[in-house]
Amino acid sequence: MSKRFWTEGLGSFVLAILLALTVRWAFVEAYMIPTNSMMPTLMSNDHIFVNKLIYGIRWPFSSKWIMKWSAPKRGDLIVFRRDGDQSPFYIKRVVGVPGDRVYIENNHVYVNEAVLERRLPNPTEQRRWGHHFDSKEYELWMEILSDQAYGVLYGREGPQSAPIGPVTVPFGSYFVLGDHRDLADDSRTWAPARFVKEDAIIGRASMVWLSCDETLPVVPFLCDPREIRWDRFFRFVN
């Protein structure tokens, strides 16, 4: 084939498609958050980039690893499928890694017999998290895990959950929680299969690049331009 075919003709289009597919397969992919189970960190209709290279690289269209160089850590926001390639995407926070003992009672989380520290947010944190939820209905706390602080929500009037565990996280698996503790469907409710298998993990959430209060009625994965949350653009998440 001529050089011109690849630079000006159909070949350039084919190359662009192959490049886009390669980036999506190996490096980064965009996802939309469908629910508020990760508030205040992530909100419904947040569009995020997921770093797919952070833990390793897989064979195309497969959950099998070509090479792994790291594993999820406590506090990581991971994107995964629970039940194979056709199941919905989930995004949750890793609380327990393989070998950890996790216990939850009275809305307090214990990892290896140590309770996760909680404190009220300082004014800067309150401004960052506090205006996208009803403060009369929910309490906002900062939880600290592995020296990482992140926001969690609890209902002011809702019942506290029944004790969970203690459970020991198996090899190759992870115990995960949503940041909106009263709303999230996570390792507390998935009994008896409470854990996320490592092969099901797609990557780690890295950035909100678009966000809106409402999507277009006829194209629900596209934001309504009139409902954009401008303050959430290009926000790194942790």
Question: Which residues participate in catalysis according to the annotation?
Answer: 37, 92
Region of residue 6 (phi > 0: left; psi between -120 and 50: alpha; otherwise: beta): alpha
3-state secondary structure of 19: helix
Looking at the chain, how many residues does it have?
238
Q: Are 190 and 117 in contact (CB under 8 A)?
A: no
Residue 93 φ/ψ, nearest 5 degrees: -100, 130
Residue in 83, 84, 108, 112 with CA at minimum distance from that of residue 97: 112
Where do the DSSP E strands lie in 159-228?
Answer: 164-168, 173-177, 196-197, 201-211
Q: Are 111 and 95 in contact (CB under 8 A)?
A: yes
Strand 114-115 relative to strand 196-197, pairing: unpaired
Round to whole Å and give the CA distance between 164 and 83.
22
State the sign of the Cα–Cα–Cα–Cα dihedral 208, 212, 214, 215.
Answer: negative
